[in-house]
Structure 1
Amino acid sequence: MNQEIMLQPGQIVKILKGRDAGQYAVIVSIEDSRFVWIADGDKRKFDGAKKKNVLHLEPQAHISSEVVNSLQESGRVTNSKLRFVVSRFVSDKSKADQKGD
């Protein structure tokens, strides 16, 4: 995997390793160059964000402006917003996959 992609808060990632492998989540904060904190608002709430090694994540091109704005304004983001962002990304992605983009 190409680690040149700069990870940033609000970015959607696909989890590659661990119990949640295959799931999508949103980066809620960056620990350092090797670790980020992710949450999906459902199984993994914002207050219980999971610390993940960036090598175990596949960054997606999508960065949620709603999450970025919320984090900048209040330093946190609601679980419902995380759920919404993840579910919208997954449904958009499956539509794109069906079209063959």
Structure 2
Amino acid sequence: MIDPDSSPIVGQFVLIKQGRETGQFAIVVKVLDERFVLIADGEKRKFNTPKKKNIQHLEFLDLVSPEVQNSIKETGRVTNGKLRYALTKFVNEQVADLKKGEPLNG
């Protein structure tokens, strides 16, 4: 589990709360400073053109994608396919949990 008051982590799943992409999920690909992060989803927002977001406009979920995190640590980048795969897997698991009646941050 990740402490919700801690700073964002590369590979962490986020729910976008404000902006054009409200309600969509993404993954933190870089922490710029204590206020801003870069997020990508591998589809609309590719790794090489991530979106800079204020952390106040994001809901940080207490899950981290180990595949994305390890790839960025080892090579400094991650493939868009890996981002899409991690998000699809995450969303499918969350939808299954929601159908069981469990809360999103479970």
Normalised TM-score (structure 1): 0.95
Which amino acid in 1 is paired with 2:101? Answer: G
Shift of residue 85, structure 1, vs aligned partner = 0.6
* 1:27 corresponds to 2:21: no
Percent of aligned positions with the same letter in both sequences? 47
SS in 1 for 2:48: helix
Shift of residue 61, structure 1, vs aligned partner = 1.1
* 1:7 corresponds to 2:8: yes
Q: Deviations over 1:42-64 (max 9, x none)?
A: 00000000000000000011100
Shift of residue 6, structure 1, vs aligned partner = 2.4
Shift of residue 89, structure 1, vs aligned partner = 0.6
For residues 93 and 6 of structure 1, the distance between their equivalents in structure 2, rounded to whole angstroms, comes to 23
Match of 2:38 in 1: 37
CA RMSD of aligned residues (A): 1.3
* Uncovered stretches (5+) of structure 1, i.e. residues with no partner: none
Shift of residue 82, structure 1, vs aligned partner = 0.3
Normalised TM-score (structure 2): 0.91
Q: Deviations over 1:27-83 (max 9, x none)?
A: 000000000000000000000000000000000111000001000110000000000
* Uncovered stretches (5+) of structure 2, i.e. residues with no partner: none
How many residues end up aligned between the 2 structures? 100
